[in-house]
Amino acid sequence: MTKHQQILTFIEDLAIGSKVSVRFIAKALDVSEGTAYRAIKEAEAKGLVRSIPKVGTIRIEGVKERQIEDLTLREVSQIAEGVVICGFEHLDRSPHKFVIASMELDAMGRYLEENALCIVGNRHNAQILALEHNASLLITGGLEPDEDVVALARQRELVIIQSPYDTFAVTSMINRALYDRLIQKELILVEDIMVKDVKYLNVDATVEDWRNLSQSTDHSRFPVVDNDMNLVGIVTAVDVAGEDLKTPIKDVMNGNPFMVGRDDPVTHISRIMVWEGWEIAVVADQGKLIGIISLQDVIEAYQQVQKQPQFGETVDNLVLSGFRFVDDSEHLSIEGEITNAMVDDYGSASCGVIVTVMNMAGYIGLRKKYRLNAITENFTLYQLQPIPVGTEITVTAKLLLVAKKHCNIEVEVTVENEIVAKGLMTARIGDKKLVNESSSLI
């Protein structure tokens, strides 16, 4: 480890709130002041320390992965044009909830919780109660907190912000900031939710190495990379079951993991993971491992998206949400019910919904059943009968032809084995195929 890295590690291990100076680092680690200065500047860029006027450089909490609507206390202070009374080193925290102290003390206690932000006027008892629940304070009306309030906040390492505006104005300003942030937020991308600190195995590892890593991390799925961090596969507990400890990982790993890019939208990735049964997706940049996401990460992202009315499920996901796989050894089949959300003005399944279901069945069939990565170029619907709401339908995708760059899929919709819709889907095969020889499929 270089001296520069040693300094960064030393700073990371310091207690939150500790003062950091060039002279202190140089003396503690026996390095030059120039080396210490450069390392402190990098630590500030990484969010490990912050320079505060009239206070100095302070070790702060690292900025954690932020949720979609999170505001830090620093941002709240700026929004409310506030003055920070104490807790400078904790301004990068994000309050879990906002509580307006406009009720009796007994009722307030039910709403206060740790890491909340209490918006309060000149109610001394309410201020003390909030601090006792480990909630920071935003004091409105430009009022100065009493000395005992400030002392308690410092003792509990909490933040007090003083705003010149009244409670209603401050609340309106925060609400407006949250609304502006939501309407400007783009769709959630893989990069927003992926785990960057990935535990992995080298291609030269053995099953014994997998076992040791699994025991130390409590995980069972690991990407496999070469010496240049190029992704070459993924290995799971199923892959190594019953294998000798000396068996090379490359002999048992899955050489065709589900690989995604950092800029892929989560809604698209989630659909593939759910329909194809992937529990882990490996994130790569030009073939090199940079992260990993699990189905649990995707579910948590969806839970966050549901808090935003302007973002949510895609149309495809909403249409297919009630469909399920049918056990069909020959073709890809799904079945589901025509719901009220799928019908037209006449009470029958709309043409657009039927085409969406048929097209998605063809797409899923290409990937899951026939292991082909393809994009729809043309879809022709040449038979359609009215399908009343509440009808159970079965959609079957049949691969007809695979050429070098294109493939044809016939898609049928049946009700009690009677064909009610039929279409032909033409798709362009992508550069990356999920099988070595597509011709072996037909």
Q: Report pLDDT digits (tens) over 263-283.
A: 787 777 777 777 777 888 999
Evaluate whether 293 touches 190 at the Cβ level (below 8 Å): yes
The predicted structure's pLDDT at residue 181: 60
The predicted structure's pLDDT at residue 272: 78
Distance CA 42, CA 6 (A): 13
- Mean pLDDT of all residues in 396-406: 87
Provide the 3-class DSSP secondary structure of residue 56: strand
pLDDT digits (tens, 9 = 90+) for 111-128: 888 889 999 988 999 999
- Which residue type sits at 231? L
Distance CA 428, CA 376 (A): 6
The predicted structure's pLDDT at residue 339: 84
Among the ranges given (141-145, 166-170, 362-366, 416-420), the one the predictor scored with the smallest mean pLDDT: 362-366
The interaxial angle of helices 295-305 and 266-276, nearest 10 deg, is 130
pLDDT surpassing 50 at residue 432: no
Residue 106's nearest CA partner among 125, 134, 80 is 125
Q: What integer best gives the mean pLDDT of the chain?
A: 82
Distance CA 24, CA 261 (A): 43
Among the ranges given (119-128, 275-284, 322-331, 365-374), the one the predictor scored with the smallest mean pLDDT: 365-374
Higher-pLDDT residue of 210 and 374 is 210
Q: Order of strands, edge to edge, in the sheet holding 19-20?
A: 19-20, 56-59, 49-52
The percentage of residues in the chain with a pLDDT greater than 90, rounded to a whole number, is: 26
CA angle 298, 304, 307 (to 5 degrees): 145
Evaluate whether 273 touches 301 at the Cβ level (below 8 Å): no
- Mean pLDDT of all residues in 424-429: 89
- Which residue type sits at 137? L
Cβ atoms within 10 Å, residue 403: 10
Residues whose CB falls within 8 Å of the CB of residue 391, separated by 6 or more in sequence, listed in order: 337, 338, 349, 415
245: enclosing H helix or E strand: none
pLDDT surpassing 90 at residue 206: yes
Cβ atoms within 10 Å, residue 349: 24
The interaxial angle of helices 124-132 and 147-155, nearest 10 deg, is 10
Distance CA 234, CA 46 (A): 31
pLDDT surpassing 90 at residue 8: no
Cβ atoms within 10 Å, residue 364: 21
Strand pairing class (117-120; 98-100): parallel
Residues whose CB falls within 8 Å of the CB of residue 33, separated by 6 or more in sequence, listed in order: 22, 23, 26
18: enclosing H helix or E strand: none
Distance CA 341, CA 279 (A): 30
Distance CA 35, CA 42 (A): 11
Distance CA 383, CA 218 (A): 53
Instruction: State how far the alpha carbon of 117 is from the alpha carbons of 64, 97, 133, 255, in Å.
Output: 18, 6, 10, 49
- 75 token code pair: 């941002």
pLDDT surpassing 70 at residue 322: yes
Please give the radius of gyration of the chain, using alpha carbons only, rounded to the nearest integer.
Answer: 29
Residues whose CB falls within 8 Å of the CB of residue 135, separated by 6 or more in sequence, listed in order: 99, 112, 113, 114, 115, 116, 117, 118, 158
pLDDT digits (tens, 9 = 90+) for 349-361: 888 889 989 988 8
- 135 token code pair: 């909630």
pLDDT digits (tens, 9 = 90+) for 133-177: 999 999 998 888 999 999 999 999 999 999 998 888 888 888 777
| DSSP single-letter state for residue 63 | P
Among the ranges given (28-32, 75-79, 95-99, 436-440), the one the predictor scored with the smallest mean pLDDT: 436-440
Distance CA 251, CA 240 (A): 10
The predicted structure's pLDDT at residue 305: 52
- Categorize the per-residue pLDDT at 67 as very low, low, confident or very high, splitting at 50, 70 and 90: very low
Distance CA 404, CA 55 (A): 68
The predicted structure's pLDDT at residue 234: 92
pLDDT digits (tens, 9 = 90+) for 32-55: 888 888 888 888 877 788 776 656
| DSSP single-letter state for residue 253 | S
Query: Most confidently modeled of 133-137, 320-324, 385-389?
Result: 133-137
